[in-house]
Every structure is written in structure tokens, then in C-alpha cells.
């Protein structure tokens, strides 16, 4: 039995002149999983194979840019404050992709790309989004392990077998005397997989109107993320003593709830049929 979860001893490796960062590799692996899962679910709706991959070509880069912009806008002191380095904005392998920005810009790019794709078979975008929702959660679950390699995204001190060991150089100011912390990255990864399983296998969701599964994705992920934010100790902008992302989570939960309420009891396609799983 481990006394705690150890942190990786390295965050990158070299092959000849090339340097590979585990953070980036986790994101790439997550994208690949999302495309495979999303394609299978979309084909289950009657869509053509390959459309999800075509959309990803535009949505993924847009998501990365959106995620980075959100991170920089909400943490400007890291790049423009005293001792900050504006050039580091481009060093995304060091971590720092805000999921809210990634979803927003990635969603917008997916919307435009999907409507311009002649192979979309006339399936409305909201159903396409429903097919992608669990796949996005799997991608997020895999991508969070990149934070483990970067020794980031951990919470308050914790003394438990599942606590995460953090080297002293990575501990926030005021926490140098502690060695183990809440593995926030792991909590979020598990939550994402649990929500993805619910969205795929809960049979009654197939009776909801198109767009409802994606709304549930937003609401449920935001609920878990909001709770996780309460135990994080890394620097963050605060509003009324709470982290900015807590308020973002609350706003998204309410927005998704309004959508679901307005479209309640309206039957749509059979997204959760066996061939769509």
C-alpha cells in the first residue's frame, strides 16, 4: 500500500532533437479518445463516419486558444505582473488551459465547422453536441492527468493513502511545511468519467429533446468542478471570498437548468440506443 500518490519525477522526455511533454500528450490522447467515442455515437444517430474528425480539426485548436485566453485573462499577474513573462503565454505545455474558455471557443468553432460540412446528413447541431458530450468528458478526464505530470492542480493538505505528494518547489506560499495534498486532478478525472457513464448509459436521457444531454454535461460537470474549486489552494481571483471559477460554475449550472426546464418532457431522437453508445 502507498502512503500517498507520488508525483512523477519528470514531465517530459526527449527523442533525438524532439522534446515531448506529458501534459501535451495527455491532451492529444484525450482528443483522440473523444473523436473515437464521439464518432461512434454520431454514427449511431445515422450520421456519417468522419464528420466528428473533420469538426475536430477546427474545434480542437480553437479550444486550446480559448482555454489559454481564459487562463491568461483570469490570471494576468503571471504574465504581466511584477516578474511576469508575457512570452510564457505561449508555453502551454507548462499548464494553464481554462476549461471554460476551451469549451466556449471550441463550441463556436464546432458549430461553424459542422454547419459548413456537407457530410453532416442534415442532423441538427444540438444532436451532434449531445453525441459529443460524453466524449468531451472522457477527453477532460484523460487531459487532467497532464496536471499530475506538471505537479499542479492539487488542493488543501491531506493525510490519507490517496493524498498526493508534492515536492517543496511546487508548494504554494504558506504550505511549505506540508508534503501531501488533495489530488484535485484525480477527483476531477473520476467525476468526468462518472458523468460520462451516466450520460451514455442512463436510458431515460434518450427521451429528452436534442441539446439536453449537452446541457446536462455542462450542469453536472460544473457542479463537480464548483465543489472541487472549494478545496484548491493555488492562486486565483476571488469574488466575495470565493474563487472566480465557483461563480462561473454557478452561472453555467443555472443556464443549463433553464434550458432543461424550458425543453422538459419534449421527446427527441434515440441517442442512447445501443448502437449510439
Question: Would residue 205 count as lying in a domain?
Answer: no
Interatomic CA distance for residues 22 and 267, integer angstroms: 43
> In sequence order, which residues have a C-beta less than 8 Å from that of residue 145 and are 6 or more positions away?
26, 185, 189
Question: Would residue 213 count as lying in a domain?
Answer: no
- Tell me the pLDDT tens digit for each residue of 212-250: 999 999 999 999 999 999 999 887 777 888 888 899 999
**CA-based Rg of the chain, rounded to a whole angstrom?**
20
The mean-pLDDT minimum among 131-140, 180-189, 198-207 falls in: 198-207
Asked whether 14 and 20 are in contact (CB, 8 A), the reply is yes
pLDDT at 275: 40
Question: Would residue 248 count as lying in a domain?
Answer: no
Cα–Cα distance list, 266 to 209, 263, 271 (Å)? 5, 6, 14
* Domain of residue 46, residue span: 12-199
Interatomic CA distance for residues 25 and 16, integer angstroms: 17
Rounded to the nearest 5 degrees, what angle is found at the Cα of 51, between the Cα atoms of 47 and 53? 140
Instruction: Tell whether the model's pLDDT for residue 67 goes beyond 70.
Output: yes
Cα–Cα distance list, 246 to 63, 102, 112, 123, 238 (Å)? 21, 17, 29, 35, 9
Alpha carbons within 13 A on the beta-carbon side of 40: 14
**pLDDT class of 276 with cuts at 50, 70, 90:** very low
pLDDT at 122: 87
- Burial class of residue 17 in the structure, from the number of CB atoms within 10 Å of its CB (0-12 exposed, 13-18 middle, 19+ buried): exposed
Interatomic CA distance for residues 31 and 116, integer angstroms: 21
**pLDDT class of 12 with cuts at 50, 70, 90:** confident
Biggest alpha carbon–alpha carbon distance for the chain:
59
The mean pLDDT of the chain is: 88
170: its cell numbers: 511546487
> What total of structural domains would you count in the chain?
1
Q: Smallest Cα–Cα separation from 271: which of 200, 179, 188?
A: 200
Rounded to the nearest 5 degrees, what angle is found at the Cα of 24, between the Cα atoms of 192 and 236? 65
pLDDT at 255: 95
Q: Give the DSSP letter of residue 207.
A: G
Question: Would residue 218 count as lying in a domain?
Answer: no
Percent of the chain with pLDDT over 70: 93
Question: Would residue 155 count as lying in a domain?
Answer: yes
Question: Would residue 268 count as lying in a domain?
Answer: no
**pLDDT class of 3 with cuts at 50, 70, 90:** confident
Instruction: Tell whether the model's pLDDT for residue 72 goes beyond 60.
Output: yes
19 φψ region: left (φ > 0), alpha (ψ -120 to 50), beta (else)? beta
Q: Smallest Cα–Cα separation from 198: which of 272, 111, 114?
A: 272
**pLDDT class of 6 with cuts at 50, 70, 90:** very high
State mean pLDDT over 47-73: 91
Question: Would residue 212 count as lying in a domain?
Answer: no
Q: Give the DSSP letter of residue 161.
A: T
74: its cell numbers: 483570469
Question: Would residue 130 count as lying in a domain?
Answer: yes
Interatomic CA distance for residues 125 and 130, integer angstroms: 9
Amino acid at each position: 500500500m502507498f502512503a500517498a500518490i507520488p508525483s512523477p519525477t519528470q514531465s517530459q522526455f526527449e527523442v533525438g532533437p524532439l522534446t515531448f511533454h506529458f501534459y501535451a500528450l495527455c491532451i492529444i490522447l484525450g482528443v483522440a479518445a473523444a473523436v473515437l467515442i464521439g464518432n461512434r455515437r454520431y454514427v449511431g444517430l445515422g450520421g456519417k463516419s468522419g464528420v466528428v474528425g473533420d469538426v475536430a480539426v477546427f474545434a480542437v485548436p480553437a479550444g486550446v486558444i480559448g482555454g489559454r485566453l481564459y487562463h491568461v485573462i483570469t490570471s494576468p499577474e503571471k504574465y504581466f505582473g511584477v516578474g511576469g513573462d508575457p512570452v510564457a503565454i505561449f508555453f502551454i505545455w507548462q499548464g494553464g488551459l481554462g476549461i471554460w474558455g476551451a469549451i466556449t471557443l471550441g463550441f463556436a468553432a464546432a458549430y461553424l465547422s459542422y454547419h459548413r460540412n456537407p457530410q453532416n446528413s442534415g442532423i441538427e447541431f444540438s444532436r451532434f453536441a449531445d453525441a459529443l458530450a460524453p466524449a468531451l468528458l472522457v477527453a477532460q478526464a484523460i487531459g487532467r492527468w497532464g496536471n499530475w505530470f506538471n505537479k499542479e492542480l492539487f488542493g488543501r493538505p491531506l493525510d490519507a493513502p490517496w493524498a498526493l505528494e508534492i515536492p517543496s518547489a511546487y508548494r504554494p506560499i504558506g504550505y511549505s511545511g506540508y508534503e501531501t495534498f488533495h489530488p484535485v486532478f484525480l477527483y476531477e478525472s473520476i467525476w468526468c468519467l462518472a458523468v460520462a457513464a451516466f450520460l451514455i448509459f442512463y436510458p431515460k436521457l434518450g427521451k429528452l429533446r436534442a441539446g439536453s444531454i449537452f446541457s446536462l454535461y455542462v450542469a453536472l460537470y460544473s457542479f463537480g468542478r464548483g465543489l472541487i474549486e472549494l478545496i484548491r489552494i493555488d492562486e486565483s481571483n476571488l469574488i466575495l471570498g470565493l474563487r472566480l471559477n465557483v461563480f462561473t460554475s454557478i452561472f453555467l449550472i443555472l443556464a443549463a437548468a433553464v434550458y432543461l426546464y424550458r425543453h422538459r418532457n419534449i421527446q427527441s431522437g434515440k441517442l442512447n440506443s445501443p448502437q449510439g453508445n
